[in-house]
Amino acid sequence: MFDDVKYLKFKSYLNTYCPHCRNSFNVERKDQKYLVYKAIYKEQEIELKLSPFLDVFEVESSVPIDINDKLTDLLCPKCKKSLIVEEPVCGECGSPVAEMIITAFSKLIPFFICLNHGCTWHGLTKADQNKIKLKIPRQEMPEQDMKLRAANHTEVPYGYTTELAQLEAGRCLQCKEPKCVKGCPVNIDIPTFIRLITEEKIDEAAKKIKERNVLPAVCGRVCPQESQCEALCILGLRDKPVGIGNLERFVADFERKMDLVKVPIISNKLNKKIAVVGSGPSGLTVAADLVQLGYSVTIFEALHESGGVLVYGIPEFRLPKSIVSFEVDYLKKMGVRVEMNHVIGKTITIDELLQHFNAVFIGVGAGLPVFMNIPGETLGNVFSANEYLTRMNLMKAYKFPEYDTPKPRGNRVVVIGGGNVAMDSARTAIRTGAAEVTIVYRRSRQELPARHEEVRHAEEEGVKFMLLTSPVRYLGTDQAMLKGMECIRMQLGAPDSSGRRRPVPIENSNFIINCDIAVVAIGNSSNPIIFQSAQDIKRNKWGYIEVNPETNETSKEFVYSGGDIVTGSATVIQAMGAGRIAANAMHNKLSAT
Amino acid sequence: MNNFSTVDEILDFAMDAEQKAVDFYIDLGEKMKNEEMKSVFIEFAQEEVKHKARLMKIKEERIFEMSAEKIADLKISDYVDTIQITPEMSYQTALIVAMNREKAAFKLYTRLSAKTDLPGLKDMFLSLAQEESKHKLRFEIEYDEYILREN
């Protein structure tokens, strides 16, 4: 018995189930390391033994089976029903296959075995593979426990393990005309980098992403993929789209943790200098692209730490500072100079920069907070989200007195707004010990502009949501400190010509919320400082810079711009896309002069 | 407050009010430090010129329609704090100025309509009030869309 031994290179999965009875036909004794199937061979019932051994199934049969002979049936050991399926068939030899359900990474997944004993590859046709792929559920990243994480500033998702990443990558249909690439503002070759993950070539996947994106670890974490690349993923029509953002993050983290990042050697040095104002996503992209072309690049940053909104705006638990500093260090290693504490417009003007540099890129973002202009906004402890997050996050007020920034005193925090910045502020307040944190938003849950994931995280961590509510004034103590907020209930009006239902106050529905800290997170606009000494840079009525969309050049020659200071608040990857357009145009223009 | 006895008197008053608005915005535009805000107020003035032209057409053709359409009121201007007019105003402040002016005009015509019992005059006042509420809504939508974007 079991004298014919054959090794089949399957990935090893220890638990196997019948698709009919769903009973496990795993080894019955714990010390046994093999599965026994009943099979029909030449009209005779035989036994097949499969022993998982590392990543190989060792197959033995009770009678010798000739190579290229086919089993005519394979039966479930429990319900005795046939496991043969009519479709799909083996992609290698066209033979029938048997379907089993296996568990891999806690998920049930169909798995097929070719019944041709001589077939060395038990694969399936591409169409059949795709049918199977559709059955693999989207793999979510493991996360910190919600109670634990509400008391620390460590990142919430742990990221994919290699196994989870490969399983998720295996869902990609590898479309011939991938729509996801069109959804990506910098057109990353998404199917190729995902294929490289399935082939366990993670370092090559990282290279593929970096051809188009210099900040993959950042984008993998904070870009709203659900409204960009993943929104166009064909799998999303039937099920959930491929976790492109999660995979991008996995690749970038893998490369960093395994020390695979290689700094390119730049041999072609040009005698031309570029000034980049602001070290946010657009500025870093311009710097990376141009330094690799041989330009001498200097970044001017107003704050004491580089990264722009990535470090002052996005909290540690969503984007660790170490990741941003790693990316900036990578640029420094390529030769980019970074000058901190330089407020362009005050310390140096744009005209002065143009005397020393061949071209200037303005990527200062939209850093001026917008307030609602309601009574009481000047009371103590009414903060803009910018100030609140900069204090708590960048200046580490939560570590006071270890750090010099004092934490605002207050236990009942209200956050006005429903975007990602509002969620970041609320979740920061929870982590810094506030007893009660409430988001006050004028519209309904459906209109919340924050990412679903951020809303879910906030709710899990204990943030309350007061929807269809708008503040109308702040109330203060005798010492002009906040003690409450008068609000009014709202209702959504009839759709207007644009189809949007706008919030309208319900008369006499006013009520008071007791609170001692209010954080206004309703949006940002352009900071006018830089323009006080550069009136010749044309702006629109919102204060954003007007550029030629083909080149991102401003009305002032040799001055380019991109990112939030041109478009208003947008995504990291859109800012990077704008930086890339500007870098290309700067290179073209400077090459011709 | 004026006493009106004919529709023409009302229209003359309304055209005069629109002209005052044109002058107000042009004057404000001239005071602005930056070019973008200058052009914002010129744009507002141009809108008021169009409103005046519409009234002039009504006066000439002696036809006006009372629409049954209910104009939405987002009531944004009811809750914003008083603002100071400075040469460095932002677009947000400019919108508040505009919303408040349109709201004041709406309230004026509504009050006037309540004061008269003559059907022709009443309808004219109501029609003007409706027109002003449309103008206010145009600014409120812009405020709602861009200033209160994440709110």
pLDDT at B118: 79
CA distances to A195, A200, A223, A455 from A244, in Å: 12, 16, 11, 20
Q: How far is B28 from chain A (nearest CA, A)?
A: 15
Query: Are residues A372 and B149, on separate chains, in Cβ contact within 8 Å?
Result: no
Residue B20 has pLDDT above 80, yes or no: yes
Partner B contacted by A444 (CB < 8 A): no
Give the confidence band of A497 by pLDDT, cuts at 50, 70, 90: confident
pLDDT at A211: 87
pLDDT at B125: 86
3-state helix, strand, coil in chain B (%, to 5): 75, 0, 25
Q: What angle do CA B151, B82, A377 make, to 5 degrees?
A: 50
Partner B contacted by A472 (CB < 8 A): yes
Residue A111 has pLDDT above 80, yes or no: no
| Position A350, amino acid | I
Residue-wise pLDDT for B64-86, tens only, equals 776 777 888 898 989 998 888 88
The answer to whether residues A107 and A131 touch, using CB atoms and an 8 Å cutoff, is no
pLDDT at A328: 93
pLDDT mean over A128-147: 78
Least confident of A87-91, A448-452, B139-143: A87-91
A581 backbone dihedrals φ, ψ, rounded to 5°: -60, -45
A369-493+501-524 homologous superfamily: FAD/NAD(P)-binding domain (3.50.50.60)
Give the confidence band of A204 by pLDDT, cuts at 50, 70, 90: very high
Q: How many beta-carbon contacts under 8 Å exist across A and B?
A: 87
Query: Are residues B72 and A419, on separate chains, in Cβ contact within 8 Å?
Result: no
Give the confidence band of B121 by pLDDT, cuts at 50, 70, 90: confident
Among residues of chain A, what percentage have pLDDT more than 70? 88
pLDDT at A3: 38
Mean pLDDT of chain A: 86
The CATH code of domain A273-366+531-592 reads 3.50.50.60
**CB environment A408-446: b (16+ within 10 A), e (fewer):** bebebbbbbbbbbbbbbbbbbbbbbebebbbbbbbbeee
Please provide the size of chain A in residues: 593
- Comparing CA positions, the residue from B18, B39, B19 lying closest to residue B30 is B39
B110 backbone dihedrals φ, ψ, rounded to 5°: -65, -40
Give the confidence band of A56 by pLDDT, cuts at 50, 70, 90: very low
A153-257 homologous superfamily: Alpha-helical ferredoxin (1.10.1060.10)
| Residue B50 structural domain | 7-147
Of B73, B146, B150, nearest to A418 by CB-CB distance is: B150
The CATH number of residue B119's host domain is 1.20.1260.10
Q: How many C-beta atoms surround the C-beta of residue A346 within 10 A?
A: 12
Query: Are residues A541 and B39, on separate chains, in Cβ contact within 8 Å?
Result: yes
Interface residues from chain B to A (CB-CB < 8 Å): 34-37, 39-40, 72-75, 78-81, 83, 88, 90-93, 96, 141, 144, 146-151
Query: Are residues A502 and B72, on separate chains, in Cβ contact within 8 Å?
Result: yes
Query: Are residues B35 and A374, on separate chains, in Cβ contact within 8 Å?
Result: no
Residue A580 has pLDDT above 90, yes or no: yes
Residue A478 has pLDDT above 90, yes or no: yes
Residue-wise pLDDT for A317-370, tens only, equals 999 999 999 999 999 999 999 999 999 999 999 999 999 999 999 999 998 999
pLDDT at A38: 80
- Burial (CB count <10 Å: 0-12, 13-18, 19+), residue A44: exposed
Q: Which two tokens stand for residue A411?
A: 């236990």
Please provide the size of chain B in residues: 151
pLDDT at B114: 86
Count structural domains, chain B: 1
Residue-wise pLDDT for A176-198, tens only, equals 999 999 999 889 999 999 999 98
pLDDT at A409: 84
pLDDT at A11: 39
For the ranges A149-163, A426-440, A523-537, B46-60, the maximum mean pLDDT occurs at A426-440
Residue-wise pLDDT for A382-434, tens only, equals 999 999 999 998 888 888 888 888 888 889 999 999 999 999 999 999 999 89
Q: What angle do CA A74, A80, A84 make, to 5 degrees?
A: 35
Give the confidence band of B11 by pLDDT, cuts at 50, 70, 90: confident
Mean pLDDT of chain B: 86
The whole-angstrom separation of Cα A33 and Cα A37 is 14
- Comparing CA positions, the residue from A370, A415, A374, A509 lying closest to residue B145 is A370
Residue A487 has pLDDT above 60, yes or no: yes
Residue-wise pLDDT for A211-240, tens only, equals 888 899 999 999 999 999 999 999 998 889
Give the confidence band of A544 by pLDDT, cuts at 50, 70, 90: very high
Residue A107 has pLDDT above 60, yes or no: no
Q: Is residue B73 part of a domain?
A: yes
The whole-angstrom separation of Cα A228 and Cα A216 is 15
Give the confidence band of A54 by pLDDT, cuts at 50, 70, 90: very low
- Comparing CA positions, the residue from A538, A526, A523, A554 lying closest to residue B38 is A538
pLDDT at A25: 57
Domains A153-257 and A273-366+531-592 share a fold: no
Q: Is residue B90 part of a domain?
A: yes
Residue A53 has pLDDT above 50, yes or no: no
CA distances to A299, A456, A473, A490, A522 from A442, in Å: 39, 19, 14, 6, 10
Q: Is residue B1 part of a domain?
A: no
Of B34, B73, B151, nearest to A441 by CB-CB distance is: B151
Q: In chain A, what are the domain boundaries?
A: 4-135, 153-257, 273-366+531-592, 369-493+501-524
Residue A275 has pLDDT above 90, yes or no: yes
Residue-wise pLDDT for B89-120, tens only, equals 889 999 999 999 999 999 988 888 888 887 77
Preferred mutation among A490, A502, A555 to probe B, highest tally of B CBs within 10 A: A502
pLDDT at A239: 84
Residue A32 has pLDDT above 80, yes or no: no
Q: How far is B54 from chain A (nearest CA, A)?
A: 22
